[in-house]
Structure 1
Amino acid sequence: MSGGIEPWKRPEFGKWLPSTIGKDASDIEHRLAWEESRASEFDILAAWKLDRISRRVIHVNVLAEWCDRNEKQLATAEGDIDLSSPMGRILFQLIASFAEGELEAIKARAKSSYTHLMKEGRWRGGFVPYGYRPEKQETGDGWKLVPDEYGLNTAETLREIVRKIIDGQSANSVCRWLNENRDKTPPPLDAQRIRGGKEPKGALWRVGNLIKMLRSHTLLGQVEMTEEVTLSDGRKEKRTRLVRDKDGLPLQRAQPLISKEDWERVSAKLEENSNKRAGNRTGGSPLLRVAFCTCGKPLYRYPGRSWSYYRCANKAITGLLCADSKSIGAPKLESTIEEEFLRVAGHIEIVRKVFRPGIDHTNDINEVTRAMQELREDREAGIYSSETGKLEYREEYSRMDRKREQLIALPTRPDTWEEIPTGETYGERWSQLTTAEGKSKELRASGLRVTVHSEDVPAQYVSGKLLVTLDEGRVIQRIGRIEIMFPRDFSDRIRQHTATHA
């Protein structure tokens, strides 16, 4: 295991240590973590060298403090370190600092080796780009990537994907074809597992990943690198760029799978086929993240020949139609939901829930208490032995004690959600909304959730009038295939309104 990983997080080492080491957890959590570990089975934690415990100074210090508190000893076979003395602690931190520096040096060497291998056109290991397979070089010096043209023959699958896109098929239809023939066209992760002699996991091709793969320069045998960059406003963002050789040209790592002309044609087709007419791009969808399929995935709005319609997002993700779903016309679904929402909730006053963060000084109190404990330990170690030191100790300890008393005396308040009436009904608010985005936002804020079934769902009627039913505290309305569920607190608010206006 890497020396940079916390000891209590390593698979084998971690079995002997509580998982709450160094964490601000409750006494109960610390006790449960202790009982789940094998911490009660040892008295001395020994390693060959300090850097085998950890290469991070902070990890070593946290572990050493835990050992002190729990009457454990920390020892190494090479070098005598007495953690009970101030000098031993200083030496301990120095050695740990050197170990951490070595870790950074190892990382730097690994990065340098990675860059060198790429510039030499060699495969460094890890994930294999789709359409390639690793093969040992004839010289025996490392590995290289070659087109995968036997066995799974993912290179031919890749070229067939390119042909279909150039011929005018959408990425969605190609993804559906791939998923329907996964025994012959396994997705990248399963292909790599099969080449490694492992059973596939039954992964699915996804439209987004397919498009990303087709736009990648790896199809041309070139190398791309993803790096984290810091923007001018301080935010960090990951960006992918081509790796170039000393002459500034794209670094050629392997034989191209397709020609540069075909790669450019695919890119142009993908841009041409991008769905710029989608309903949720022009005008938006008033039911975005409000309407869902019975499988749990959201319904998306798509343009049709005569009108728009909603269908399960599973097709957009995997190219496969959802077996539990049937598309529904957008005008019918939107008008039904709007009418029933206003019929049930139009007269109800909008109540906004506002989160009020609580006030809790527990962490500050614990920090001061911990500092006072460290001050006492320093005095016991003889650091404040002179008369001047004793005076400084008393003043500093008294100051901390006063600070702790002040924190304890401060009022505390738990986190709360406050309901604030707006003085406006849902009907009044709805009449002011003019955009699909605004309607979607208001429906989501109300807590409304709509499920569209493939068949009609049973509803209750009295004298031909559709009833609103209560199910486990929820207000539920069922109309044909549409099931509208209002939030739980709506039942109380409807009762209150009915009682007030009875």
Structure 2
Amino acid sequence: MRGTTMDEIERPYDGCGKCLLGVRRLSRVKAATTSPERQREDVLTAAATVGGHIIDWADDWEVSGATDPITRPRLGPWLRDERGKYDGLVAAAVDRLGRNVVDCLNTGYKMRDEGKFLVSYGHEGVWNLDDPNDENRFTMEAWGAQMELRAIQRRNRDATKKIRAAGRPKGKPSYGFQYVRTVPNGRVDRVELHPHAAEVLRTVAQRILADPANVSVSSEAARLNRLGELSPTDHLAVMYGKPAGGRPWYPTSLRNMLLSEAAMGYLVHQGKPVTDRTGNPVRLCEGLWNRTTHNALKDVLHASDTPYRGRKTNRSYLLTEVALCGQCHNRLFTQTSADAPPRYACTVRNKGWKNAQHCRPAPNMRVANLDALVEGWFLEKFGHGAIVETVYDSGNGVADRIAEIKASQQRLRADREAGLYDQPDDAEWYRERYIELSRELKELESEPQRPPGMVQRPTGETVEDRWMKAPDVQARKEILLDFGVRVTVFPASAPVRWVPGVLHGPEQDPLSLSGSFRTAGP
């Protein structure tokens, strides 16, 4: 029979009745591991012993044995009959199917009920779950795998508790931070800020605090995606020598990072800082910002902030949201076709808008022409203006320390209300610590404070420098919107085709860049 020699073990599906799927799984893939190769040899050997051949591989790397096989990324689609025909599964061992008795039995009974093979290395022939002896042995091996998983989980929990009690981190570093190890693959010796990632997150926080009315986590996530910044998941993968998967930034995850107390350099467990014996949070290293900035971000990123609040700067043309129709005063849309250059045009009358019933003739203008005209006008008018950044200043540190003490008091009160200090010795420690914090708070409140707020500082750049350094058309559009620029386009029959302008009003300073900087005047 074909498929009995090692040279013929791997070949496409041919309907022979023994077209088997190779199953491999590993919880952690390291450079030094040889498990994938060993599992491959075991699977090929097991397939050969039953006269079958491998048509494909369901390789689930970095997948825990606690994961239900039917939900695994590579094996799951086969079990859900989404990948094509196959006659059975071959695994290097039962624990490669899973480390849960119920999951293993469900997979085994599925193969039995569908008349498919179930083979594992070390077991002679095909598993026959209708035979009590085979069923008992399969269950025992699955049970052994589950017991091993529970032992691993218990050891990990105990190790995590000890490491946390010692004030050391365990797990993956938060975005903006990195672990430093003096010995490769050894214990974490210290935590440091990651130079690039820390600057990315600080810039996001600064932009949001400088202009919360127009800059949101959604617009910032879109900006980071446009710039090609690695998302936190891809950044972590690259840090540990793995390829980036091209995953995007998401507003929700960006918001969570900005609001997490881990950003202040604290050791965090279940979303709360781990405290030491004095009741203060354990600090791993310098934070991305301090408590005052953290509270300011909490005030800005409140729960009612919708995911799509902020200016619409994600369109692929410079003047969308900027160019207006001179006839009906609605914004212009972009028209594209395969045989003509793109144009800015007023199309709202064709859409049936009531305020555009008399918009005839509707103006339109080539995108390249209008973009060039607006760019030339803008740089001539504002290009020589010096840029002064508007940044958030957290003050002289007194307010930050006061905020830290109040946060510590709040944590103590919450723990007391939860019943953590009911014992006499614990209650005495609680009173002493709370009195100590109150005394320190009173002393700080008597010291002079420089309150936090927005301050301006020169950058040494001009508006033209910032314009020329803009990485894409969207960044330049943000500059136009920061200046409140609007462009009105008229039909060809009008005396002029386009008129640029800058919005004026109580909230529109024509020289004000309402985002993160402003001009000192051209």
TM-score range, shorter chain: 0.3 to 0.5
Which TM-score applies when normalising by structure 2?
Answer: 0.40
Tell me the TM-score normalised to structure 1 length. Answer: 0.41
